[in-house]
């Protein structure tokens, strides 16, 4: 995915870049696969803000994505590669042989006219876009849209450029290496889709000005040390002292390097190696 750079005609344009969208083949979504999306402003049903820094943003339609990929035995042709404002990766419109249409997350090499399918048979081709249980996927292949529980639908590795790798299978359990470096065990009955997700250069886009973030519905974030003592644990003090304590969130939860995961969480035993984190400018591997 190429990134487009404009001439510096203004201060906001000077250091910004945009997605060239050269992979897209259609701009209008399939109406039967969309539904209205209501803005919440980060507020719950009682009106309290439960997720900060959300508000405004451009009006959006939600595209219904087939994360389960459970339409087995019927092949589908890729009709279009489209933009989805609700996620960072592109989506692909599939037209099945029985006339049904569905959206899926678009792998990197998927093109219009390609044929994809899903199922549990060993005969299914291991090509990008095909979905199948982990038990029939060869070790070493790249995956995305991975289920955490059989039949639940893909929950893991769904963002732009995301890719996981199947590194082992034993006694009904598959071992997956996630993009963060975490190594996790998953039931071999869980489904996954072959290939790496497209739009990998999304992370390299420079937004350039605050207004482009507001279009996306993201409001400003104020540093804790710049707030009053009543508003944040790091607030108050003279200069940039920050109260002389380790970085924490607004509610006192460690923000950089502190362990916050519940040690009694059920899935803790399924994590063989924890994710890679960046602490004080260095990459540190966190283990159990």
Residue spans of the domains in the chain: they are: 3-201
Residue 266: per-residue pLDDT: 86
Residue of 190, 99, 187, 125 lying closest to 152 (CA atoms)? 190
Residue of 84, 75, 134, 124 lying closest to 106 (CA atoms)? 84
Q: Are 101 and 95 in contact (CB under 8 A)?
A: yes
| Residue linked to tokens 């108050």 | 236
pTM, 2 dp: 0.89
With a cut of 50, list the residues of the chain below it in pLDDT: 242, 278-288
Residue 115: per-residue pLDDT: 97
* The CATH number of the domain covering residues in 3-201: 2.40.50.140
Residue 283: per-residue pLDDT: 44
Residue 29: per-residue pLDDT: 97
125 to each of 52, 255, 288, how far by Cα in Å? Answer: 45, 44, 37
91 strand-pairing partners:
82, 105
CA 37, 42, 43, 44 torsion: positive or negative? positive
Residue 284: per-residue pLDDT: 46
Helix (H) or strand (E) holding 82: strand 76-82
d(C-alpha 211, C-alpha 220), whole Å: 10
Residue 277: per-residue pLDDT: 56
- Chain CA centroid to CA 248, Å: 25
Residue 274: per-residue pLDDT: 84
């Amino acid at each position: 995915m190429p990134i487009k750079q404009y001439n510096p005609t203004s201060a906001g344009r000077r250091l910004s870049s945009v997605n060239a969208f050269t992979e897209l083949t259609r701009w209008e979504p399939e109406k039967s696969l969309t539904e209205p999306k209501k803005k919440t402003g980060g507020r719950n049903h009682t009106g309290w803000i439960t997720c900060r820094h959300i508000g405004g943003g451009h009006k959006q339609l939600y595209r219904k994505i087939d994360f389960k990929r459970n339409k087995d035995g019927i092949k589908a042709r890729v009709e279009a590669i489209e933009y989805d404002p609700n996620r960072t990766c592109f989506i692909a419109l599939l037209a099945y042989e029985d006339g049904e249409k569905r959206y899926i997350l678009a792998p990197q090499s998927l093109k219009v006219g390609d044929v994809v399918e899903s199922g549990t048979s060993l005969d299914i081709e291991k090509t990008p876009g095909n979905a199948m249980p982990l038990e029939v996927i060869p070790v070493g292949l790249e995956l995305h849209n991975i289920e955490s529980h059989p039949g639940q639908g893909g929950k893991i590795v769904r963002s732009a450029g995301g890719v996981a790798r199947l590194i082992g299978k034993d006694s009904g359990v598959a071992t997956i290496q996630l993009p963060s470096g975490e190594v996790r065990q998953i039931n071999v009955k869980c489904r996954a889709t072959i290939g790496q997700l497209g739009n990998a250069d999304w992370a390299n886009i420079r937004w350039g000005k605050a207004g482009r973030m507001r279009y996306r519905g993201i409001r400003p974030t104020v540093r804790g040390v710049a707030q009053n003592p009543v508003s944040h644990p790091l607030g108050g003090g003279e200069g940039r002292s920050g109260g002389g304590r380790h970085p924490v969130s607004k509610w006192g939860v460690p923000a950089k390097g502190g362990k916050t995961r519940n040690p009694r969480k059920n899935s803790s035993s399924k994590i063989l190696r924890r994710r890679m984190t960046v602490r004080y400018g260095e990459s540190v591997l966190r283990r159990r």
